[in-house]
Amino acid sequence: MEDTNFMSQLEGQGPVREPQRQYYFMAKARDYITQMKQTLGRDMTACVVTFGCQMNARDSEKLVGILENIGYTMIEDETADFVIYNTCTVRENANLKVYGHLGYMKKVKEKNPHMMIALCGCMMQEPEVVEKIKTSYRHVNLIFGTHNIYKFAELLWRCIESSEDGQKSRTLIDVWKDTDQIVEDLPVERKYPFKTGINIMFGCNNFCSYCIVPYVRGRERSRAPEDIIAEIRRAVADGVVEVMLLGQNVNSYGKNLEHPMTFAGLLREIEKIDGLERIRFMTSHPKDLSDELIEVMGESKKICRHLHLPLQSGSSRILKEMNRHYTKEDYLKLVDKIRAACPDISLTTDIIVGFPGETEEDFLETMDVVEKVRFDSAYTFIYSKRTGTKAAVMDNQVPQDVIKDRFDRLLKAVQDISSDVCSRYTGETVEVLVEEKNSHDAGMVTGRMSNNLLVHFEGSDELIGRLVKVRLDMCKGFYYIGTLTE
């Protein structure tokens, strides 16, 4: 069914020609969808379900971009004609959620003969997972991984072809171990018209001993600064005022570029883009947070007053076991330096409880950092053993009841501090980006402050996407109720 002439023109042309190749498959799939719509006398629908981090959320926008280009109508309902799960595997419960959905989908699919189910994302990079799905969830049509997501249109077309040939029970599987490619210029559909995530790098080289991400996302690759800037310029021309620069460790941006560049250097360039009002980034690894970056943050008018700086543990001994390359003292010193340069900055963090060998003393070190730093908020996680990581084979795993007790104590401390810290802005008037209608009260909208806190206030939909001034009247723990002042 392939147009061999067109395909041979693209053979051996490498990644530069990849977008054209994918647009070719989009066109083929579009013809099929148009035909199906006519035959069925209705729209063909698609649904993307996302698990995991901001990187996955951004990947899902790429999936939506391609699905819309093909002619699917996007809905948020897993009875759609095409359902794709973009999966996460950072902790065991992320995997369990996916299996839960898949089990339920078997019945749903029996009712719709045109339905196709696909799986992609980090969990698919694990061979045991793919094996399990192949044998126990045979209603899945397509599986691909994190490295070939740019081939989605082609894979989808192959699935359509084989379902047309009556091979409905076969699962098409295409998972790559790693890649050094970055494919630019494929369609992408932003979830919000006024803000967007921008990948600046892919993969991770840090191998923190508990973490599966380097195994499922591959080696670190930075995008060329000119591609990043061009993408942001296009987004801004299209109405975007806030960008979130994405990478597992943005502080090591640019090291592997042909002309190396630091993350601070990249920020300086992005700051110059006219019409862009706010810059966020995530995630920062404490070991690579440079003085240059702190300086840029201190001087910037656009970088938001928020830094997510994962601590993981307050015990220098555990940090070493975790392969984090900093000590408790390093972390505390870093926080002091950042606060000296940006006094009003909001600091948030990630903490893992129950890493193998964690003693009560180690845990108290973590509590000590929490009390000293007084984070604006902290995501707390129970250690989850991930097959293939160094920590998974450490023999001193902490009993579940001990972990649970520590987790509850940590959560209480974190929440008490955070509601206290958050209330410090009461009475101030701040600039917020209005993001959405309030889900509980139709007369209200929700805006995000530079420091990432939310404020709900009376206002109409027309404010959505605009930066406005709001007085913070009352703190409700983790958010504010305010009044529009302009």
Could you list the residues that contact ligand F3S (CB under 6 A)? 52-53, 55-56, 88-90, 122, 213, 216-217
The entry of ligand SF4, ligand SAH, ligand F3S, none near residue 383 (CB within 5 to 8 angstroms by kind) is ligand SAH
Residue 256 near residue 222, CB atoms below 8 Å: yes
Interface residue with ligand SAH among 21, 28, 62, 91 (CB under 6 A) is 91
User: Which of 283, 446 has the CB closer to ligand SAH?
Assistant: 283
Q: Is 217 in the site for ligand SAH (CB under 6 A)?
A: no
User: Interface with ligand SAH includes 141 (CB under 6 A)?
Assistant: no
Count the residues of the shown chain that bind ligand SF4, applying the rule CB under 6 A. 10
Which C-beta is closer to ligand F3S: that of 220 or that of 277?
A: 220
Determine if 222 is a binding residue for ligand SAH (CB under 6 A): no
Grouping H, G, I as helix, E, B as strand and the rest as coil, residue 102 is: helix
Stretch that binds ligand SAH, among 237-245, 382-390, 452-460, 475-483 (CB under 6 A): 382-390
Give the nearest distance from C-beta 121 to ligand SAH in angstroms: 14
Distance between CA atoms of residues 354 and 336, nearest Å: 27
Binding partner of residue 386 among ligand SF4, ligand SAH, ligand F3S, none, CB cut-off 5 to 8 Å per kind: ligand SAH
Quick check: 222 binds ligand SF4 (CB under 6 A)? no
Decide whether 66 or 213 has the Cβ nearer to ligand SF4.
213
Q: 239 Cβ partners below 8 Å, 6+ apart? A: 193, 194, 465
**What are the DSSP calls for 160-225, one per residue?**
HHHHHTT-TTPPEEE--S-------------SSSSEEEEE-EE------TT--HHHHH-S-EEPPH
Distance in Å, CB of 277 to ligand SF4, minimum: 28
Q: Give CB contacts under 8 A, 24+ apart, made by 253-262.
A: 253/200, 253/201, 253/222, 254/222, 254/225, 255/220, 255/222, 256/220, 256/221, 256/222, 257/222, 257/224, 257/225, 261/225, 262/290, 262/292, 262/293
CB of 64 to ligand SF4, least distance (A): 25
223-252 positions binding ligand SF4, by CB under 6 A = 248-249
Which C-beta is closer to ligand SAH: that of 310 or that of 482?
310
Which range, of 112-120, 132-140, 325-333, 379-387, touches ligand SAH by CB under 6 A? 379-387
Sheet with 45-50: list strands edge to edge. Answer: 73-74, 45-50, 82-87, 116-121, 142-144, 172-174
Q: Which does 52 bind (CB under 5 to 8 A by kind): ligand SAH, ligand F3S, ligand SF4, none?
A: ligand F3S
- Measured in degrees and rounded to the nearest 5, phi and psi for residue 397 equal -65, 140
* Residue 204 binds ligand SF4, judged by CB under 6 A: yes
Q: Between residues 254 and 310, which has the closer beta carbon with respect to ligand SAH?
A: 310
| CA dist., res. 118 & res. 102, Å (int) | 10
Of 116-124, 315-323, 376-384, 416-424, the window that binds ligand SAH (rule: CB under 6 A) is 376-384
Near ligand SF4 by CB under 6 A, which window of 18-26, 144-152, 208-216, 454-462?
208-216
**Is residue 207 close enough to count as binding ligand SF4 by CB under 6 A?**
yes
CA-nearest of 149, 64, 163 to 115 is 163
Distance from C-alpha of 288 to C-alpha of 241, rounded to nearest angstrom: 28
Q: How far apart are CA 62 and CA 388, in angstroms?
A: 29
Strand arrangement, sheet containing 278-282: 195-199, 242-246, 278-282
Return residues touching ligand SF4 (CB under 6 A): 204, 206-208, 211, 213-214, 248-249, 285
